[in-house]
Every structure is written in structure tokens, then in C-alpha cells.
A = this chain, B = another copy of it.
Amino acid sequence: MQNPRSIREKTVRDAKAGLILDAALQVFSQKGFHDARLEDIAAAAGFSKASLYNYYEDKDAMFLSLAVREYQRVADRLEKLPVGEGTFEENIKATLSMIFSVFGEHFSFLLTLSNFRMMNILSLGKLEGHHEQRLEDLHQSFFLVEEHFRKLVATARDKGETQSELSDDVLAGFLGSMIRGVLFDWKLKGTMGDAEEETRRVLVFLKKGMDFAQRS
């Protein structure tokens, strides 16, 4: 695997696998899991349907791999945001802004899918034994995102910026709800909306809801 030849081959292979996921993202987002036909994905990726099986063992694997990739992208970016420094309004603003502007579309995919399929996938265990590693990765990403929200709230409380009677967990949950709410609305409307303006509105509401110190 260390020799140049192997490296090149792996690189090309990964690139192609990525192209397939890009296509899958489009199709899954538009049609949902079941209505998404492999032929659509293949066409969007520039492959034949049969070729997909050179990269993913089956449709579930494609869906899961995509979910992992997209969630990890969000988690990675969130992790890089500094939480200990700056106002917490700034932190939350950065978080909202990032999610809305950069990952809006992708996150929306996860939102959509999680609804009707993720739960089956994550709980019904129909996939266990086939996709254990991917499930593990996905859970990890879920945890990271939630953890980020929790840290945001906890830090705010540490710094005395919120005196809300609600627990950190509950507040973190509301934060997530607001974000999902916006993405949900976008999906219903079929268009992404103005990320900046949306960020501002949510911020206004959040600061009040979370009992932020009235400095802003």
C-alpha cells in the first residue's frame, strides 16, 4: 500500500467513490431513500448501475457511507470552532452561520433521511453484522455534534452569560431544534433562504430564550 502505484490507485478509487456519494446526496435529498433509484444515482455519477457495486456493497452501504461523510463534515467543522474564547453570542453565531451557510443543503439531507430511515437503521439493527463499522462512525459523529451544542451552553453558563433555569441538556436540545426548524422550513419551501438573515433572527430569539446577559 506504500508504493506509489498502490497509492495512486487508491486515490483514484476514493475519488470515484466520492463522486458516487456526491450523486447519492443529490438523489437521496430529492427523493428520499426508497424513491431514490440506483439508476438515478449511477446516472448522476456518470457510472452504470452495476458499477456502483464495485464501490459499495449495497444500497444501504451507500446511504450509510453518505450519512457518515456528511455528518462528519459537520462535526469536523464544529470541532474547529473555538468555544472557550470570545463572547458566546459570537460562538453561537459562528455555529449557526456555519451550519446554515455551509452545510445547509447537506444537513438538510440528513434531516430528511433520519426521519424515515435512520431510525430503522440505527435501531432495528437490520444492518448490524453488515455495517457495524459505519454505524459506529455515525454514532460518533452524532455525539460530536450534540456535544458541541452542549459545550456552547455550558461555557455560556460558566461565564455567567445565561442564568436560565433550564438544564444545559434542555437548552442544547432547543438549540438543535431551532436549527433543525430552520432547515426543515427550507426543505418544505424547497429553497435555502438567506443564511445570514436566518442566523440573525434565530440569534435574537435564542439570546432571549436562553436568558443571555443583556449586553448586546
Contacts and interface: CB of A to CB of B under 8 A. Distances in A.
Interface of A: 31-35, 111-112, 114-120, 123, 164-166, 170-171, 173-174, 176-178, 180-182, 184-185, 187-188, 190, 201-202, 204-206, 208-211
A10 to B, nearest CB: 17
A178 B174 contact: yes
Contacts of A188: 114, 118-119
Contacts of A187: 115, 119
A178 B180 contact: no
A14 to B, nearest CB: 21
Identify whether the interface residues of A are mostly helix, strand, loop, or mixed.
Answer: helix
A161 to B, nearest CB: 14
Contact of A204 (B33, B111, B166, B201): B166
Contacts of A35: 34, 116, 120
B116 A112 contact: yes
A164 B115 contact: no
Contact of A209 (B32, B111, B205): B205
Nearest to A122: B188
A206 B209 contact: yes
